[in-house]
Structure 1
Amino acid sequence: MLFALFMLAALVLTGAVWLLDIFYLRKVRAEGKAESWVVEYSKSFFPVILAVFMIRSFLVEPFKIPSGSMMPTLLVGDFILVNKHTYGLRVPILNNTFFEMNHPQRGEVMVFRYPQDPSMDYIKRVVGLPGDRIEYRDKHLVINGQPLEVGLDGDYEYVAPGLNRIAAKLYKETLGAHKHDILLVDDAPVIDGEVIVPPGHYFVMGDNRDNSNDSRFWGFVPENNIVGKAFMIWWNFDNFGRIGDTIK
């Protein structure tokens, strides 16, 4: 969000200088006199800033994965692309929808503004839709009374912050139309609970279920906080093989 504000400020500033030159400065400038460096740079950068701002606001926006809460689907250091129009077109910065299209579906990976600090962007998987009853019992999800299909798929080890090696179990979980991987740690604390998702809100969870700060702790994601749908990994400095992978 801070970068978007910076882009908007740069867009307004360079555009204002360009318009000032069109309607005033060039009329009073002595014939043959060169433009000032402010005018020259503003006229050069305004179209570029405008193009980048429009693409990031309405088409796609890049993000970097900062934590392991979405492992094994997304790894720390993955650079991903987020579709900004899947869930409708939104007013830049304000994020209010002005052209409604689709709504988030169970199993989709979504970027949103963290409800407790909207200046931060979070990424999680959509688990509950408005009106859903979500139960989490013994590390298993039950949605509207129906337990999700989950199957063990082997062991998985990773290094957590502090160089702690974590031994987890890898499972295949079917959530809506999406079949994806999740991680569970046998000796991690069990967090049980049951909630009903209110209208205009979504319940989200990380795929690394025992190492994710998500709706189980801070509640629901309001519709106006949605940024877009994550769909592709476009870069990873440590693992080139992940480049181009779709996000399932």
Structure 2
Amino acid sequence: YIKRVIGLPGDVVEIRDGMLYVNEQVVNEPYATMSMNFMNEPARIVEAGTLYVMGDNRPASSDTRDWGLLNQDLVIGQAWLAIFPLDTFGLVDHPELHFTPGMAQGP
């Protein structure tokens, strides 16, 4: 799966009336492909060693809201190229993250 990192350890993430908040600040999400109108998720503190992740197709994505915080050691890479939707085709910006991805464990 490819997911977007929304919250790092120590962050407080919440969805209130369809708006994403990280540490009580509204997050501008031009990359989100569909509205989260009427969505609400209670505030959650991102624990040490974990990440809060979400897919860009918010109403249909299976992510932290469904299966909980993601252990950082399960992150195996970053997306470098966006191909869909076509009007966003190109290299993906990478904000600086403050952890080192590890190798995912196989089944």
CA distance, structure 2, for counterparts of residue 125 and residue 207 of structure 1: 7
Distance of aligned partners of 1:129 and 1:185 in 2 relative to their CA distance in 1, 3 Å threshold? closer
Q: CA deviation at 1:148?
A: 1.9
1:196 aligns with 2:41: no
Q: CA deviation at 1:130?
A: 0.5
Q: Deviations over 1:101-120 (max 9, x none)?
A: xxxxxxxxxxxxxxxxxxxx
1:247 aligns with 2:92: yes
Please list, as runs of the form range in 1=range in 2, the aligned pairs for 1:209-248 lying within 5 A after superposition. 209-233=58-82, 242=89, 245-248=90-93
- Is the strand fraction higher in 1 or 2? 1
- The total of aligned residue pairs comes to 90
Identity of aligned residues (%): 37
Alignment root-mean-square deviation, CA: 2.3
Given that 1:128 and 1:197 are in contact with CA atoms closer than 8 Å, whether structure 2 keeps it comes out as yes
TM-score, length of structure 1 as denominator length: 0.33
TM-score, length of structure 2 as denominator length: 0.72
Distance of aligned partners of 1:185 and 1:221 in 2 relative to their CA distance in 1, 3 Å threshold? closer
Structure of larger gyration radius:
1
The equivalent of 1:14 in structure 2 is: none
Any unmatched runs of 5+ in structure 2?
94-107
- Is the helix fraction higher in 1 or 2? 1
Q: Secondary structure at the match of 1:198?
A: coil
Tell me which amino acid in the other structure corresponds to 2:80.
F
CA distance, structure 1, for counterparts of residue 46 and residue 62 of structure 2: 18
Q: Deviations over 1:123-157 (max 9, x none)?
A: 110000001011111111111111223xxxxxxxx
CA distance, structure 1, for counterparts of residue 9 and residue 36 of structure 2: 29
Q: Deviations over 1:42-92 (max 9, x none)?
A: xxxxxxxxxxxxxxxxxxxxxxxxxxxxxxxxxxxxxxxxxxxxxxxxxxx
